[in-house]
Amino acid sequence: MIGPRLRAIIIKEIWAILRDPRSRIILVAPPLLQLFLFGFASTMEVNNIRVGVLDLDHGRWSREIVQRIDGSPNVREIVSLRSDAELARAINDQKIIVAIRFDPHFSADIASGKGATMGAIFDGRRSNAAQIISGYIRSITNEVGASLLPKGLPQGGRAVVTHWFNPNLINLWFVMPALISILAAISTLSVVSQSVARERELGTFDQLKVSPLRTYEILIGKMIPPVMIGFVNVTLFVILVPTVFGVPLQGALLPFYMALIFYLVAISGIGMLISTVSATQQQAFLGMFAVSVPMITLSGYASPVDNMPGWLQLINLANPSAWFLNISEGIFLKGMPLAQVFSNTWPIMLIAAISCILAAALFRSRME
């Protein structure tokens, strides 16, 4: 299937990528570094919280709530506040992200059966973290409220909560499969987007024009090595994610790799479009950056796709990373069946076909 001319251009491209020792390191080291950095740094959990407490009550129940908050594994420090002015300064200077305020009659109102209200002031500049911390504090206060119910009285029904696919809501279980999709796109896109631009800078693009190679052979020869590099990197990730990060691999790898091949081809087609329109490698790098950032942002890695406006979700249908992220998470966390894998793969196949056809047409026009 691979003739001598196509084999020659593939070998030539592989040597062009691997001949520089620094390039060989760049192909593997940055993706591995990003895997570890993003895996531990880009967490949705909120830890090491500094909570301010303005306790004007100093009664039994205010102390009980403060002790329970202090005992939370997410809380690093309780900061004692002496006045409302000091509370405002602490939040304004970002010394704390939340302040708890108890009025002077808090415990007395609870003891009399009236019920009491606890104040909680959050730093809205960090809205996502504030919402998560609000859930932590609400859970603690609900536990204290439940302990106040008289024994022997019916407490009503209770909710039994079960988290499918990630029972303990471990953040790494969500992050690592998503990172496979993101880093595979970046590593492949960064290589293929430089290929034609590099030929122009080195002055060898004209040699390709007069070579006996057909246009499609040049195009395929330039796209196969980046696909191979992406394939090797993803294989390395698939080994590291379960063994080092403890993320379970529930599904079969064969459908995963079948989808991966089409995904890498789609990314390579997009990268070839960037490289063909770029006159220099610097332009190609900027083009790769301009494409990869929206691709990652819209993939669902940073925020759910369902939270995006309808028109943006429509545009996101052309984002191969969004489809492959669903496959990666499904294979790792829930053992996605073959039918669901295919339902997320055929849009990638369509994107790959369109991007490769456009890249071929544009490349042919530039060759002429």
pLDDT digits (tens, 9 = 90+) for 302-354: 777 877 888 988 998 999 999 999 999 999 988 888 999 999 999 999 999 99
Strand partners, 53: 80, 100
Residue 281: which of 197, 203, 218 has the closest Cα? 197
In this prediction the pTM is: 0.76
Tens of pLDDT, residue by residue over 144-167, are 777 766 554 444 444 455 566 777
Task: Read off the pLDDT of residues 54-82 as tens digits, 9 standing for 90 and up.
Answer: 998 888 888 888 888 888 888 888 999 98
Residues contacting residue 28 through CB under 8 Å, at least 6 positions apart: 232, 233, 236
Q: Give me Rg for the CA atoms of the chain.
A: 28
In angstroms, the CA 233 to CA 363 distance is 27
For residues 198 and 249, the model is more confident at 249
CB 56 within 8 A of CB 104: yes
Region at 87 (left for phi over 0; alpha for psi -120 to 50; beta for the rest): alpha
Phi, psi for 164 (deg, rounded to 5)? -70, 150
CA–CA distance, 348 with 132 (Å, rounded to integer):
35
List of domains in the chain: 4-42+169-367 (no CATH), 49-147 (3.40.1710.10)
pLDDT of 264: 95
Three-state secondary-structure class, residue 306: helix
300: number of Cβ within 10 Å: 22
Angle between helices 281-297 and 171-192 (to 10 degrees): 150
Distances (CA, A) of 251 to 84, 114, 171, 185, 331: 55, 55, 19, 22, 5
**For residue 343, what are the contacts with CB-CB under 8 A and spacing of at least 6?**
none
